[in-house]
Copies of this chain bind each other. A is one copy, B any other.
Amino acid sequence: MNEMSNSAGAYQRLTARFARMAVVEEALSMLGWDEAAVMPDGGAAARADQLAMLSGVAHGMLIEPVVADDLAAAEAPAGDAVAARNLALMRRAHRQAVALPGDLVEALARQSSSCEKVWRAARAAADFSMVAGPLGDLLALSREKAQALSAATGLSPYDALIDSYQPGIRAAEISQIFARYERFLQQALPQAEAVQARREQRGPGMAPFAVAAQEALCRKLAAQAGLDFTGARLDRSMHPFCGGTPTDIRITTRYDEADFCSALMGVLHETGHALYEAGLPRAQARQKVGYAAGMAVHESQSLIIEMQAVRSDAFLGYLGPVLAAGFGQDVRDFTPDRLSARLRRVERSFIRVEADEMTYPAHVILRFRLESALIAGDLAVADLPGAWNEGMRDLLGIVPPNDAQGCLQDIHWYAELFGYFPSYTLGAMAAAQLMAAARRAEPGLDAALAQGDFSPLLGWLRTHVHGQGSMFGFNELLQRATGKPLDPADFETHLTARYLS
C-alpha cells in the first residue's frame, strides 16, 4: 500500500513538474513569436538573454536529481493507458536531456550560433568554402550528440536524431520509402510535364494584388478552414511560421503584391499546423502525452489543408469566385484552370521551399541521403557541394549553378538540425494517406469542400489525429487512423490523379 502511494505520488509530482515546465515553454514560445513578428532590432541582445535564461530554467527543472528518483519510482494509475504513455514520454524526455553532457550542449549552442552567422554570409556570397570549417566543427559536435543519444536510446546515431523530431519511424524504413518514390518520380515527372504542356498556362488574376485585400482573404479562408481567431492571430514575419500556444496561436506570413498565392498558401499551410495545435486534447494540456505527435505528423496536418484540401479540384472551384470578389477582379480570370496553372504546376527547380509537391520529395531525399552519410562519417564536409550537385542531377536532372542554389540554400545543417528533413516528405505522404482515409470515412468531404466547408475533414482529423496528442508514434498513429502504417502508394495515387491525367 505504501509502495503504491509512493509510486502514485511520484507520478503526481512529475505531472505537476512537467506542467510547470510547459508553462515556461509557453513563455518561450510567445517570446519567440515576438522576436520574429514584432520586436524592434534594438531588442535582439536582451531577447537572446531572455530566451537562454528561460530555456535554462526549463532544462534545470527537467534535470534536477529528484526527477530521476521520481521517474524510477513512478507508476501510472492502473488501467490508465494515457497516463502510462505520459510517463513513458516523460522518461524519454528526461533520458534525452540527461544523455547530453552540459559542456556538449553549450558547445553545440555556441558553434551552431556562430556557424549560422557565417552561413548567412556564405550564402550571400554563394561560397561554400567560407563555411566549410565552421560546418565541419558543428558536424563533429552533432555526431557526438548523436552518439550520446544513441547510447541512451539504443537507436543508431542517425535514428536517434530522427527520433528526436519524429518518434516512431527509422532511417531504414525511410530509405526504402524514398527509394520507391525515386523510381516513381523518374517515370511520373516527364509524364506530368507532358500533360502540363497541353494545359492552361496563365495564372489567375492580374497583379498587383493589394496587401490589404490579400490579408483579408487570408483571414477569411483561415477562419473558414476552422481557425478560431478568438484564440489566434495572423501577423507578418520574414519567414512564415506557426507559434504560440494551443489557446493563443500565432501564425505569420509575408505578402507580395505581384503574387497573392504565396501568402495565401502559406497562411493555409500554417492554418493546418494551427488547427492541429488547437485540436490537441485539452484534458492532457501541458503534459507530454497532450503535445503534437512529432514534426512529420505536424507537417501532415499543414499539408492536408494546403495541398490535399485547398488545392483539390473541389475547393479550387469554390476558391476562384472568392478570390475574384476579394480582389475586385473578373471572376473569369480565376477559373480552376487558371488557379491550377499557378497552384499545381510541376517544375524541376533548385530551391526546396519553392518546389511543387511532386518534386519536393526529391529535395528531401537528397538531404536525407547526404545527412545520413555526414552523421555516419561516410561523407566529408569538403565533399558536400559535389555530392549535392551529383544528387540533384540523379534525382531531377538539373545541376545548381552555384552553392547558394545548392547546398547553402537551407539553414538546417548550419543550425544543427540534422535528422529533421525527412519529416517534410513523411508528412506529405501521411497527408495523402490520411486524406484517402478521411474521404472513405466521410463520403461528403469533397462536396463540402466545393462549398468551402472544411468541417467533415476537420471533424475527422480532430478525432483521428489532433485529439490523439502524442499517444502514438508515427506509424502507429497512421495504422489506427488509416488501417496501415505509412504507405507511399496513397501519395503516388494522389499525384497520379492530380498531375498525370
Contacts and interface: CB of A to CB of B under 8 A. Distances in A.
A45 interface: yes
Contact of A23 (B20, B23, B49): B49
A30 interface: yes
Chain copies in the assembly? 2
B38 A50 contact: no
A244 B47 CA distance: 11
A20 B40 CA distance: 22
A23 B245 contact: no
Interface stretch (A71-79, A223-231, A304-312, A380-388): A223-231
Nearest to A61: B57
A38 B233 contact: yes
A42 interface: yes
Given A34-B34, A57-B57, A248 B27 contact: no
Contacts of A57: 24, 57
Contacts of A41: 230-231
A247 interface: yes
Contacts of A31: 27, 30-31
Contact of A248 (B42, B229, B233): B42
A228 B53 contact: no
A40 B245 contact: no
Contacts of A247: 42-43, 45-46
A27 B50 contact: yes
Nearest to A43: B248
A91 B38 CA distance: 37
A232 interface: yes
B40 A229 contact: yes
Given A46-B247, A247-B45, A248-B46, A53 B40 contact: no
B54 A231 contact: no
Contacts of A230: 40-42
A228 B40 CA distance: 10
B231 A53 contact: no
Contacts of A24: 50, 53-54, 57
Given A34-B30, A34-B34, A54-B27, A232 B49 contact: no
Contacts of A137: none
Contacts of A248: 39-40, 42-43, 46-47
Chain A: number of interface residues, binned into ranges: 20 to 34
Contacts of A232: 40, 42
Interface string A48-63: 0110011001000000
Contacts of A42: 228, 230-232, 247-248
A45 B248 CA distance: 10
Given A20-B53, A31-B30, A53-B23, A46 B233 contact: no
A114 B24 CA distance: 25
A26 interface: yes
Contacts of A50: 23-24, 26-27, 30
A285 to B, nearest CB: 9
B40 A233 contact: yes
B229 A43 contact: no
A57 B49 CA distance: 16
A432 to B, nearest CB: 32
Nearest to A244: B43
B43 A231 contact: yes
A371 to B, nearest CB: 34
A232 B39 CA distance: 8
A45 B247 CA distance: 9
A50 B247 CA distance: 13
Interface string A195-232: 00000000000000000000000000000000011111
A109 to B, nearest CB: 16
A348 to B, nearest CB: 42
Contacts of A229: 40
A253 to B, nearest CB: 16
Q: Which 10 pairs, one residue from A and one from B, show the smallest C-beta to C-beta distance?
A: A42-B231, A43-B248, A23-B53, A42-B247, A27-B50, A23-B49, A42-B230, A41-B230, A46-B247, A46-B245
9 contacts: A23-B50, A24-B53, A27-B50, A30-B50, A40-B229, A41-B231, A43-B244, A46-B245, A57-B57
Given A24-B54, A57-B57, 19 more contacts: A20-B53, A23-B50, A23-B53, A24-B53, A26-B49, A26-B50, A30-B30, A30-B31, A30-B34, A39-B248, A40-B230, A40-B232, A41-B230, A42-B228, A42-B248, A43-B248, A46-B245, A46-B247, A54-B54
